[in-house]
Structure 1
């Protein structure tokens, strides 16, 4: 199997399933989430790992990377590269305000029977027609929509880059994402295709799980308005995740859809 194809499959598999329930977690980790001064830069790691923020499994692909600048325009990463266990890139913060760094993907999963044998396939939407044989029976197709994000503010934060797209599962901050402090409740809202996503479980896991016997996890539930609240127990980087499934794939090929949202947020000391 081609190395590039294998790498893409590993990433698709990791982010298409409910992330809080599996060992491998996808994440973006910035070297800082609040910066200031003349010509500030940050370096961002992207990986799939067993232990949070410790690259020990596989590099995440940067093919679906989208960086939104404080004015809403797209910013470009610099010095991007991918190794065995992590990908990395630099970001020059040329504007004042908040940047959103995201990996956004949509893939299809198919199961079918051919000549009495069960088969599985995963790939891009435009590949489905030729990937699944016409003679296949009991074909079931699921769309997977996944978003992995982190945020960086240069100077005073703003909200332009945080505007939701109205597609998939998205986070809308009520408390600003780069202004989180230990002991202070933070409120967020989850949207599903632009509408409040009620009754979803939220998992917030503190980093450095490599050095703990148990995960330091906070949980919350969204209300009918999609809002939820978290009160941070200590400072550091947190991995936030929510996932759901519905029958609104928006594609004639897929009968259902799996969605996940993941973010890395930094909580500052009091």
Structure 2
């Protein structure tokens, strides 16, 4: 489907030109661990799939001094060859061994960088900078003197891309899930907050998950499949809206990301954001 022409009006968000609400951690993912880079919708910016990594691989979290985070985005080129060059830079304090090991082992490694927004707000999302055809590379400017100790990390594309940073509302695989759901559970308790919820194989039969508790308007959770003989199932229901009404089965490493929508005075509907 072709892009539908739209007016670019004044943003509805108050003071939209002020600094965005960056999360305090960014994530780096080397290209060689990516199993499935998420596709976008027809407009080419919003992802419609989860980021899927090879078994046993995870995004690498990096602390970034919040006021130092800066996303760069430039388009240039000759006629009929204009492309995008994007990147992100931020400061990381100190000069600990782990930081130097990261610098040593991630230099000249192509990857993508993920910057999160609105971690504590009603609409958390992330921007994915770089892709499999135009990855980012790490460059470092270190400081260790009487004025301070820190490194300026710059993740930059070295070739032009055909797209701006993608807006990602789906899963980002981290090493530790926020919670492990009991085998045979039919209700997901979201009190552990946003993140991955690891499911377990059913003891005798496949459990059907049909309820979510302790959710708020800012809840975005990802169910991660266990595989096995009796993997759990999520079916479309009054309080669970799935794309095209298609059921989801918790096969090994499969993911289903859901966002809470307040549908009543004290009730919520979980709406599918993406799956893999």
Q: TM-score, normalised by structure 1?
A: 0.26
Select the structure that is richer in strand.
1
Larger Rg: 2
Query: Does 1 or 2 have the higher relative contact order (CA < 8 Å, sep 6+)?
Result: 1
Q: TM-score, normalised by structure 2?
A: 0.26
